[in-house]
A = this chain, B = another copy of it.
Amino acid sequence: MLHILYIIAITAEAMTAALSAGRRNMDWVGVCIIAWVTALGGGTIRNILLNHYPMTWVEHPEYLLVTAGGALFAAVLASVMKRLKILFLYLDALGLVVFTIIGCQLAEQLQLPVLIVLLSGMITGCAGGVLRDVLCNDIPLLFRKEVYGSVSIVTGGVYVGIIYLGYGDQWATFTAIAIGLALRILAIKYEWQMPKFVYQDDWEK
C-alpha cells in the first residue's frame, strides 16, 4: 500500500517540479533533471548520508521513466495542471508524508538512534524540494514559507512514537499518514505559518 502511494507521490512531485523548470525556461533535459531531483533527490541524499546502497532508482530504473514521463506530460499540459492546482497541492502533501515515513522506516531498520530516524524522515521528505530550489536558483522554500518541515517532523514523531509503544508498523504508518496529511491540509487551508526569525544586519560573517 505504501508502495503504491510512493509511486503516486513521486509522479505528482515530478509533475509539479516540471512547472518550476518551466518558470525558468528550461529545455526538455532540464525538465527531466529537475523532476528527477525533486521526486527522487530526498531519498538519494538520505542514502548517501546513511551509506545505504544501491540507490532506489538504480534498482528500479522504471521510476526514472515514470517521473520523466509525468514531467514531460505536465510540461505539455501545463494549462490543465493550472486548473488542477489544488489536487496537486494535496498530492504534494501526500508525498511529504509518505516520503517521511519511508525515511523513518529505513533508519529504523538500520537500528539508528531515534533522533537520526526523525532526521532521516525529514531529509527524505524535504531535501528533494530543497535541491530543486537550489538548481532553480531560489532560496529554498522549505526554509521560509509553509510549515513543510514542521509537518515532516510531526509525521515522523507520530510514526516513531507508535512504533515505540509497540503497536507495530502498520498502525504507525496509517496514523502518521492521517495526522501528517490533516496537518498539512489545514496548513494550506488556513495559511498557517511558523514564526519567522527576521534579522537585518550588515554583519558579514
Q: Is A7 an interface residue (CB 8 A)?
A: no
Number of copies: 3
Q: Is A183 an interface residue (CB 8 A)?
A: no
Q: Which of A158-166, A171-179, A191-199 contacts B (4 or more CB under 8 A)?
A: A191-199
By secondary structure, the A interface counts as helix
Q: Is A9 an interface residue (CB 8 A)?
A: no
A109 cross-chain contacts in B, Cβ below 8 A:
none
Rounded to whole angstroms, the CA-CA distance of A25 and B204 in the bound complex is: 16
**Contacts A30-B149, A194-B27 given; does A20 touch B64 at CB 8 Å:** no
A26 cross-chain contacts in B, Cβ below 8 A:
143-144, 196-197
Q: When the two chains form their complex, are residues B49 and A141 in contact, meaning their CB atoms are under 8 A apart?
A: no
Q: When the two chains form their complex, are residues B115 and A61 in contact, meaning their CB atoms are under 8 A apart?
A: yes
A198 cross-chain contacts in B, Cβ below 8 A:
22, 25
Rounded to whole angstroms, the CA-CA distance of A33 and B145 in the bound complex is: 14
CB distance from A182 to the nearest CB of B (A): 19
Q: Of B25, B49, B137, B153, which contacts A196 at CB under 8 A? A: B25
Q: When the two chains form their complex, are residues B113 and A61 in contact, meaning their CB atoms are under 8 A apart?
A: yes
Q: When the two chains form their complex, are residues B205 and A16 in contact, meaning their CB atoms are under 8 A apart?
A: yes
**Contacts A27-B193, A28-B197 given; does A204 touch B112 at CB 8 Å:** no
List 16 A-B residue pairs with CB atoms under 8 Å apart, sorted by A's residue number: A19-B205, A23-B199, A24-B139, A26-B196, A27-B147, A28-B150, A29-B142, A34-B143, A44-B49, A51-B53, A61-B116, A64-B115, A78-B197, A82-B203, A135-B143, A137-B138
Task: Give 4 closest A-B pairs by Cβ, nearest first.
Answer: A22-B199, A30-B143, A29-B149, A27-B194
Interface, chain A (partner B; CB < 8 A): 16, 18-31, 33-34, 44, 48-51, 53-55, 57-58, 61, 64-65, 75, 78, 82, 85, 89, 92, 112-113, 115-116, 119, 129-130, 134-145, 147-150, 153, 193-201, 203-205
